[in-house]
Structure 1
């Protein structure tokens, strides 16, 4: 069943081409009313990263002074310090996870409410050139992606950045020469991962669009079910839906294969680099 409302809008067609992360800055105004929770999440993130870095130092002291040094008193102090760090890490992780997820859900709720109010005020001409399922997908699926980016992507990136900076400082203090070797190996590992990751990101956007097309087809067919049955188009609509569903499956399968290959690639490069660095450090 074809109609004018099934024409893909130019904005939707070019939506996946933008990789400008500066668009995320526009979300900051939605977080402004909850600035105290944002500050709390940032503090918890910093404390959690510092605890992870301190844990390594504490374990080193525990082994060197406690076990290797055969000093019972030093062992007790080291164990107490490690337990305190673990407790701080647990509390900070809880606060970070709760606050970040709360902020993500709150931002998405506010965004959906604003978008829905805006959609209701658009002219009828807008809906003549857009699929109904596409509009619904923007209100549901796309906003969920934003929530995932807020609750997982951004916080993980910040946490990893803090761990990278802190770990580099600790490595430099411990062994500057070995740190230099690590910094030389990092680009060799990171660049292929970034290049391969772009392919995975492209397939993820493509799979999302295919799912939106399936949802749109379902809604349009059900809404016009009387017309479909009146003209005995059930078989044609079923074949059309099967074709769209299979296309969505094949795209999702390509994405799954690419993500699996990326995971294997990351494991090979990362652990291979670790082995090389340990071998260099051992010699």
Structure 2
């Protein structure tokens, strides 16, 4: 029984994503160029450890001209990367805001087409909450999260490839934590999504109570019910706060566990890599490159963890 439910949930997630990205049709060109800019920016970032490795090994040659050339090339790489970072940020944010604007209009038009029965069972505050806070959650996925996903995805895959090229033994040692990360993502992702749905529902109910009281403020005042309405609203807000605290707890445990795993792997790499340098199997420059790529992998995994949580919250909305 469990397996079909999970499959159904995955199909539902894919259907929601297809519907969401259906709104990107008008902005497809901007999104494509934005994604390409993010990929190029990440690829340029992967060059940095190569320069650091060369920089460390150049100390042995005592050639100041080689050192100057290395630094000048590195500055040129950073300048080019800055240009593509600008294009990535501008294009994906503009297209993301356009998608969200179209989504709001479409949702509002859909609401107006619904039957009276729907509005009889839903309060105005709850409906307006869906138009504001829920779509705000989606905005982050369409604009910022998409850029980060491409950026960190290229960084993660590129770093792992270059790690294998540098030293495959150290790479396998570093990748030993990957199964732990996958299992943690599966477990905590479901928890965060379920709690996020509950949080959005509690906020919608609180807004519905507020809208009801404000629209009938004359009745509230005539019955001197200000304290009662304030307490009723506060009750709902406190419920949402308790839910948010629970979500923060799961998110904190998730992120802390992932970072501990990744940086423990970095420590093991430093220990084993140091032994390889002492034995002459690799140079100090090679170890420097490897450590930087390992840190890139750890950073990319950490960013992916945050994106996964954000994605689950958006689906929960």
TM-score range, shorter chain: 0.7 to 0.9
Name which of 110, 122, 132 aligns with 2:114: 122
Greater shift after overlay, 238-247 or 110-119? 238-247
Q: Give the alignment partner of residue 159 of structure 2, picking from 147, 151, 167.
A: 167
Q: What is the CA-CA distance between 1:268 and the residue it aligns to?
A: 1.7
2:37 corresponds in structure 1 to 44
* Matching of residues 184-223 of structure 1 within 5 Å: 184-223=176-215
Q: Which residue of 2 aligns with 1:178?
A: 170
- Listed one character per residue, the Cα deviations across residues 226-250 of structure 1 (whole Å, up to 9, x for unaligned) are 3334455444333322221221222
Deviation per CA, 1:62-109: give whole Å up to 9, x if none.
2223x3321122112211211111112211111111111111111000
Instruction: Tell me, in whole angstroms, the C-alpha distance in 2 between the residues paired with 1:17 and 1:37.
Output: 29
Match of 1:243 in 2: 235
Write out per-residue CA displacement over residues 162-183 of structure 1, whole angstroms, 9 at most, x where no aligned residue: 1121111111111122222223
For residues 223 and 199 of structure 1, the distance between their equivalents in structure 2, rounded to whole angstroms, comes to: 36
Report what 2:52 is aligned to. 59
Q: Name 1:7's counterpart in structure 2.
A: none
Distance of aligned partners of 1:27 and 1:113 in 2 relative to their CA distance in 1, 3 Å threshold: same
Instruction: Show CA shifts across 1:26-65 (max 9, x none).
Output: 2333222222211210221111110111111122122223
For normalisation by structure 1, the TM-score amounts to 0.85
C-alpha change, 1:186 and 1:278, in structure 2 (3 Å) is farther
* 185-194 or 115-124, which deviates more: 185-194
In structure 2, the CA distance between the partners of 1:17 and 1:25, relative to structure 1 (3 Å rule), is closer
How far the C-alpha of 1:134 sits from its partner, in A, is 1.9
Gaps of 5+ in 1: 1-15
TM-score by structure 2 length?
A: 0.77
Distance 1:275 1:229 in 2: 65
Quote how far apart the aligned CAs of 1:146 are: 1.1
Paired position in structure 1 for 2:149: 157
- Per the alignment, residue 86 of structure 2 pairs with 94
1:91 and 1:53 mapped to 2: Cα distance?
16
User: The residue matched to 1:68 in structure 2 has which SS?
Assistant: coil
2:16 corresponds in structure 1 to 23
Counterparts of 2:214 and 2:250, CA distance in 1: 34
Task: Between the two structures, name the one with larger relative contact order (CA 8 Å, sep ≥ 6).
Answer: 2
Gaps of 5+ in 2: 1-8, 276-317
Q: What is the alpha-carbon distance in structure 2 between the residues aligned to residue 266 and residue 184 of structure 1?
A: 13
Q: Which runs of 4+ in 1 moved over 4 A?
A: 16-19
CA contact (8 A) 1:112 1:139 kept: yes
- 5 Å matches for 1:99-114? 99-114=91-106
Equivalent residue number for residue 303 of structure 2: none
Cα distance between partner residues in 1 of 2:259 and 2:23:
37
